[in-house]
Amino acid sequence: MSMSARGEFSEIPVLDVSGLYGCDEEAVRAVASTLRGYLENIGFLYIVGHQIPQSDIEAVREASKQFFALPEDEKLKLRIDKNFRGYLPFAGSTIVTSSVATVSKPNQSESIFFMHEVEADDPRALAEKPLQGPNQWPDAALLPEFRETIERYVDQMSTLARKMVAAISISLGLSPDELNAHFEDPTTFLRLLHYPTQKAEEGLFGSAPHTDYGFITLLAQDDVGGLEVKNKAGDWVPAPPIPNSFVMNVGDILARWSNDVFVSTPHRVINRSGRERYSQPFFFDPSMEAQIEALPACVVDDAKPKYEPVLYGDYLMERIDKNYHYRKKKAAQESAAG
Ligand X SMILES: O=C(O)CCC(=O)C(=O)O
Contact residues for ligand X (CB under 6 A)? Answer: 191, 193, 207, 212, 219, 221, 227, 267, 269, 279, 281
What element of type H or E holds 267? Answer: strand 267-269
Residues that bind Fe ion (CB under 5 A): 212
DSSP 141: T
With respect to ligand X, which residue has the nearer C-beta, 171 or 278?
A: 278
Binding site partner of 193, from Fe ion, ligand X, none, Cβ cut-off 5-8 A by kind: ligand X
The listed partner (ligand X, Fe ion, none) that binds 110, CB under 5 to 8 Å by sort, is: none
**In the 8-state DSSP scheme, what is residue 242?**
-
Transcribe 181-228 into DSSP letters. GGGSS-EEEEEEEEE------TT--SEEEE--SSSEEEEEE-SS--EE
Q: How far is the CB of 239 from ligand X (least distance, A)?
A: 8
**Beta carbon nearer to Fe ion, 87 or 189:** 189
User: Quick one: 35 or 95, whose CB is closer to Fe ion?
Assistant: 95
Please say whether the beta carbons of 238 and 16 come within 8 A.
Answer: no
The option from Fe ion, ligand X, none interacting with 227 (CB < 5 to 8 A, set by class) reads ligand X
179: region left, alpha or beta (phi > 0 left; psi from -120 to 50 alpha):
alpha
List CB contacts of 302: < 8 A, sequence separation 6 or more. Answer: none
Burial of residue 127, with CB atoms counted within 10 A of its CB: 0-12 exposed, 13-18 middle, 19 or more buried? exposed
Give the residue with the Cβ less far from Fe ion, 169 or 249. Answer: 249
Sheet harboring 227-230: ordered strands across? 207-210, 267-269, 227-230, 236-238
Ranked by CB distance to ligand X, the top (closest) residue is 279
CB nearer to ligand X: pick between 116 and 194: 194
Least distance between ligand X and beta carbon 269 (Å): 5
Smallest gap from residue 267 Cβ to ligand X (A): 6
Smallest distance from ligand X to CB 338, Å? 29
Least Å distance between CB 25 and Fe ion? 33
CB of 219 to Fe ion, least distance (A): 8
